[in-house]
Amino acid sequence: MSSRSPTPPQEPTPSRLVGSLAVAGFLSGLIIIGIYVATLDTITENKARELREAVFRVLPEVTQMQKLQYDGERVVLKENGKDDENTLYAGYDDKGNLAGYALASDGPGFQDTIRVLFGYQPANNKVVGMWVLESRETPGLGDKIYKDAAFVTNFDNLSTEPPIVTVKRGTRSRANEVDAITGATISSKAVVRIINQGVEKWHQRLPLPGNEPQLKSEGRT
């Protein structure tokens, strides 16, 4: 099967080895940059759309949004660049009034890290919506944290003062209580804990009423 090389084996010079590697690397780099450039716009657009959908889901009556960044002292506008743990999003209604912030928070769930985005209105200490960005919870049980509409709507109008607690399904009576999912108590509690942590982290950082960041560019959605 093996085909014999027609030329006698000859030790190539080191420079030739390095050279061929360099050429391969160069060509590969070219191809990669090519595909990157070709797909960049679509990918950026996809990501932006996905983000927008998520933000609109957790903040009611929002039609416009912008990305903000906490720089260690205050929240400032951030046009683009990578997201990190200090990134947040502000949502505005038709008239450009601030409707609330969309905050990301994560923490350990039943199986793996759960990442959620939740809508928050600091003025009245309220969570107004929750959306799971990422989770590997058990199908059929833990995944109800995003599949079970009844659970998700728990977070549509939830007081965070005192912090949110989970209660047995059907016994919800106070403004800060969440009905746990039967059989997936751990996942339910994990979501609540993650949101509580997010609230705790962001509550002090968010600007006071009156100092809210204004929607910068009109019409930007």
- Dump the DSSP string for 74-113: SEEE--SS---TTEEEEEE-TTS-EEEEEEEEEEE-SSSE
Q: How far is the CB of 126 from another protein (least distance, A)?
A: 26
Identity of the residue numbered 101: Y
* 183 part of the interface to another protein, by CB under 8 A: yes
Most distant CA pair in the chain: distance in Å?
Answer: 87
Query: How many chain residues interact with another protein (CB under 8 A)?
Result: 46
Which positions from 32 through 51 interact with another protein, judged by CB under 8 A?
A: 32-33, 35-36, 38-39, 42-43, 46-47, 50
The correct pick among 48, 53, 94, 113 for binding another protein (CB under 8 A) is 113
Cis peptide before 162 (omega within 30 of 0): yes
Query: What CA–CA distances, in Å, run from 29 to 1, 24, 32, 38, 40?
Result: 34, 8, 5, 14, 16
CA pair distance 151, 147, nearest whole angstrom: 8
Q: How far is the CB of 117 from another protein (least distance, A)?
A: 15
The correct pick among 73, 82, 149, 216 for binding another protein (CB under 8 A) is 82
CA pair distance 67, 97, nearest whole angstrom: 15
The correct pick among 31, 48, 76, 77 for binding another protein (CB under 8 A) is 31
Which residues face 89 on adjacent strands?
A: 67, 102
The correct pick among 141, 159, 205, 213 for binding another protein (CB under 8 A) is 141
* 123 part of the interface to another protein, by CB under 8 A: no
**Which residues make up the interface to another protein (CB under 8 A)?**
1-3, 12, 16-17, 20-21, 24-25, 27-29, 31-33, 35-36, 38-39, 42-43, 46-47, 50, 82, 84-85, 107-113, 138-141, 168, 180, 183, 185-186, 189-190
